[in-house]
Structure 1
Amino acid sequence: MTQTQSLALYTAAILVGALTGGSLPLLGRVGRSDIGLSFSAGVMLGAAFFHMLPEAVEESGAGILPYVLVGFLLLFLLERFVLVHVCAEPGPNARLSQAAPLPAGVEAAGHDHHAHAHAHVGADGAVALEEDGTGCAVHTTLGLAAFVGMSAHTLVDGFALGAASGHAELGLLVFLAILAHKIPNSFSLSAILRAEGYSRGRALAMNAAFALMVPVGAGIYLVLRQVVRVETFTAAALAASAGTFLHLSLSDILPDLHRRGGSKWVLSGALLFGLAVMWGLRALNHAH
């Protein structure tokens, strides 16, 4: 089997696995799941500390670590200047909607000292404002940020798969490692997207785009392997992706869960379970 055929087979299997994992939170009537979000935070922390950072340091040494800050700041600045950040006030999750012209003084995705307001233009041109009991509108920031961060990591996975696929045994090990953590990562992404109000169809489509970053990354590797020092680039991308994961889990998901309350023991257990899953995959990932 040629390298191209191996890559095609591996990426197809990863796509199926990712879509399977990503479809689980979409079955039935699934809304926001604080347990799922806490598990997601554990998966992200585990991926950053048990997989991405050790691999980056192994490839290029401790000098690669400043790229963690690059990834962290990139996502921070994206949320600060482009995306609407998660709401700061605690409270119930009741939604209020109205179809009416946008009130004077209220801007789409804007906020004042007491409330956030998000405007959604319907097919009839009416503007609907959605808020929860805190005066905080239902937003899509966390879902989009999660998609960007996870896709960056998956692109790097594609680099790793492309680099390893020239050797049959190593390529198989890397494929198994990627497949093993793409399933829980896809589950995490869908849980976050559903919690942020994305439809099931859109969440599944974004999961497919997320999984397709593997063949995209592998293809880019095949093109660039003779042009640049791909190993160094991959290590930097891994470190930067780890920074985005740390930002998502520590600055967005976990503070949001703290504000909303819930069972401390259950949510802590879900967080630890996510960490345990990624720790369990550690030996498989270290094979490459």
Structure 2
Amino acid sequence: MSLLTYKWLIAGILVVFTLLTSLISLHFIGRYRQWLQRGDALADGIFLGVAAFHLFPNAVSGIARTWPTSTAYVLTLLLVGSGFILLFFLERWFIIHEEQQLSTTTTDAWILLGVLSIHAFISGATLGIAGSMTGASLLFIAILAHKGFESFALAVGLHRRWQRHYPTTLLLTGFAGVTPIGIILASFIDHWLQIPTAEWLSSIFNAFAAGTFLYIGTWHAMHDHFDHATDATPRYHKWLWTVIGIAVMGALAFWQ
């Protein structure tokens, strides 16, 4: 199986998985919340581990082929910071609209969908330009681990605004295709561009995605904005599951 075919297979799996978890979430909102929080904490750790042990080093090594190593680190850190700040300000915008009650009953739901869709597309694009099956598999694990909980959070947010299944189901179906679109578009670009250009593009996406992964990974540790329901899970339990996720990704990167 070629790398391009493997990426497209992953895209198909993600469509089905995201759609199933989203629709199932609509029927089980409010149940099993404690285990969902622990699983979400594990997924946060996986994202942090992928950012630290896979995306960031790959971005530095790719840029260092053209620029001095010190410059490569500076450029990578700037791109990581850009990805982090982008999602930070998007979420701040969402919070300000909600606190000041400037939005309509559906505007904040659209913003929530936009924030998660941007991250989903960047995640897919990063996988689409992965240079090996091992790298693509690591990103697939990270995306798959977080996708279920991300879909659950989105289902809760949309259902809270509309209270009807049809518009929520329609938007969740569209959201299921965002990451695969990122994978397919980026894999086409990576496949047809010249190798130096593809390596540069891959390094930029890796660094930018590392910033978004870091933000999503620390999102639930800092606050649970998109889910206001009471979380009975002790904080140290969530930290433990997050550390386990980081350790697993670190071990996989070391093994690679």
Which residue is 1:189 aligned to?
150
Match of 1:255 among 218, 223, 240: 223
Mark the structure with the bigger radius of gyration.
1
Q: Distance in 2 between matches of 1:249 and 1:154?
A: 16
Of 243-252 and 66-75, more deviation after overlay is shown by 243-252
Match of 1:73 among 65, 72, 85: 85
1:172-230 Cα deviation digits (max 9, x unpaired): x344334333321321331231132262442233122212311211101122225x533
Change (3 A) 1:285 1:154: farther
Aligned-residue offset at 1:284: 4.3
Q: Distance in 2 between matches of 1:231 and 1:148?
A: 22
Match of 1:52 among 28, 37, 55: 55
Of 51-60 and 205-214, more deviation after overlay is shown by 51-60
Q: Does 1:153 align with 2:123?
A: yes
Is this contact kept in 2: 1:56–1:239, CA < 8 A? yes
Output the TM-score relative to the length of structure 1: 0.64
The structure where helix makes up a greater share of residues is: 2
Match of 1:245 among 209, 213, 216: 213
The structure where strand makes up a greater share of residues is: 1
1:71-126 Cα deviation digits (max 9, x unpaired): 1223334455xxx4237xxxxxxxxxxxxxxxxxxxxx5753xxx2542xxxxxxx
Which residue is 2:17 aligned to?
21
Secondary structure of the residue aligned to 1:72 is: helix
Q: Distance in 2 between matches of 1:110 and 1:259?
A: 13
- The CA RMSD measured in Å over matched residues stands at 3.5
1:115-172 Cα deviation digits (max 9, x unpaired): x2542xxxxxxxxx47xxxxxx963434421221232122021111xx44xxxxxx4x
Change (3 A) 1:275 1:239: farther
Q: Distance in 1 between matches of 2:230 and 2:148?
A: 23
Structure 2 unaligned segments of length 5 or more: list them: 160-167
Change (3 A) 1:152 1:138: closer
* Paired letter, 1:31: I
Is this contact kept in 2: 1:156–1:237, CA < 8 A? yes
Is this contact kept in 1: 2:46–2:248, CA < 8 A? no
Count of residue correspondences: 231
Is this contact kept in 1: 2:47–2:214, CA < 8 A? yes
Output the TM-score relative to the length of structure 2: 0.71
Q: Distance in 1 between matches of 2:45 and 2:156?
A: 16
Is this contact kept in 1: 2:49–2:250, CA < 8 A? no
Is this contact kept in 1: 2:120–2:179, CA < 8 A? yes
Identity %: 19
Which residue is 1:92 aligned to?
none
Structure 1 unaligned segments of length 5 or more: list them: 88-108, 120-128, 131-136, 165-170
Secondary structure of the residue aligned to 1:86 is: helix
